Chain A
């Protein structure tokens, strides 16, 4: 109900803003706003194989709807993610899965399971709903949004507001945060951002400022704030060494009560597009907040937190992508986690069948050196129609 109330409030507020926009202008000069709807339908069947011969299958049928209204200064966005889950995932973990899907980690509860039985579960989630106002150098956005402070491709220690899981192949948009965000653009390439993401339990709230600017070919940023009852201070950069991209993010967390709990999370990466068309990226992560490893297949796909962003303390990731033709591309991601003697391999083949119809085949192989899940191979097929 709170979600409904919140959405109603957003809609009311937006309609009054729209009214303002039209007021005082003669009909011939009215600047019409733009309404748009886009999204996709996607089906993703998968098979998972475990050591010992156990096998599971599942299917996720997904529909995404992005509604947007915008005019010169104002924008309203409502984005809905609907998924129909079926297979062993639902049959075997039904109640647990339902509980997990129903839980909305944001301030507003906008995650629902409208329908479920022992074979099929429907999950609906408003994962973006915000109003955005822009005037001269100011931009203010309130509601559920993605606040992307990360600069690296895989690991983002600077991403205080909406951490994501690299292994979640189903969620390309990545989660958002319920927040108010004020941006003041101090120059063409510089800005100050203030963002506040309150939580019901105030100690889980996040509030931070960022100053970002560009100098000598580098994007630089400094962040400071309150992160779930810790003090967080960090920096990030995106520049280049010769012709290769060079990016990095460092954040230090310290408990406000437990002063000795200093934690450093840092990652840096290098990427390059080679003359033969291969794009390559290597990233090294140090996750100082690592608290032991408790593998759980469902949790592997869940985002962790900025001060403990990954399942291991160290990780080296390498990815390569090769466009075989304008329609067909292949990529490979590999990851090594030395402290838990784990590794991950993720190949991906994508093919464009028609202009808006894409098919892809991907796999995830985990070797986690763990008693419960020593090894797992999951193979996914994906058919996606964008509109």
Chain B
């Protein structure tokens, strides 16, 4: 059953990557919507390659998973676990709504149930909604500019997002801080229907990677457990890489390094 556990841990990271590889198009001058649009565009290209680490921090321990990921558009993604030793070589392939997992020790490909895609991993500080939300951050919300303020030395717009009635988003309200210079997402606060803060996402360590200015560290802290968090750190990034659909194949899944 350990394998299954590993699947979940890794799937979590995988879903996170999918989150970051979601696309959006079109632009108009600074309305709430166009700010969100540009923020999305900044964080990704049509295709991308990332090397990253995901760290789960708890009062008494931390655990780190290191990964490489490739993505193309909304539909194609591949992830390879490079550490820890126990999970090294484990890989994931996503094509549209299907996910396969490769387990090197038994040289086996496992087709994941669709429910794996829409749920997240128990131990993490991200909820399902955090992961799937971004796919519809433009379409499923009403956006409005609340105010402008300085946050962490950056001039920011503060936007309020309220889910549309037909969406299945669990949060009642989401507040986002977006920097004016590079349209960088700097902070996200998620609120429940009673107006209480559920979790806070902060983005930091803003750097140039492959010619783009992006926040390279993302930190999720649940409001009721301030001593625990999940950190996602980009070590290397490349955008608009020459990569084709054929890269996201069964042959590559079982041979990727």
Contact = CB atoms under 8 A, between A and B. Distances in A.
A277 B114 contact: no
A245 B111 contact: yes
Contacts of A333: 1
B107 A148 contact: yes
Interface residues of A, number: 63
A387 B87 CA distance: 10
Interface size class of B (residues with CB under 8 A): 35 or more
A355 B107 contact: no
B63 A327 contact: yes
A305 interface: no
A143 to B, nearest CB: 13
Contacts of A238: 111
B244 to A, nearest CB: 10
A219 B2 CA distance: 24
Interface in A213-239: 214, 217, 219, 238-239
Given A243-B118, A273-B115, A139 B85 contact: no
Contacts, number: 136
A40 B5 CA distance: 19
A274 interface: yes
Q: Is the interface of B mostly helix, strand, loop or mixed?
A: mixed
Contacts of A190: 250
A326 interface: yes
A259 interface: no
A273 B112 CA distance: 10
Given A245-B113, A355-B63, A279 B8 contact: yes
Interface string A116-147: 00000000000000000010010100000111
B1 A245 contact: no
Interface string A266-303: 00000111111101000000000000000000000000
A43 B1 CA distance: 18
B228 to A, nearest CB: 9
A174 interface: yes
B113 A273 contact: yes
A44 B230 CA distance: 33
Contacts of A189: 95, 249-250
Interface of B: 1-2, 4-5, 8-9, 56, 58, 61, 63-64, 84-86, 88, 95, 97-98, 105-116, 118-119, 121-124, 128, 245-246, 248-251, 255, 257
5 contacts: A217-B97, A326-B56, A348-B1, A350-B2, A358-B86
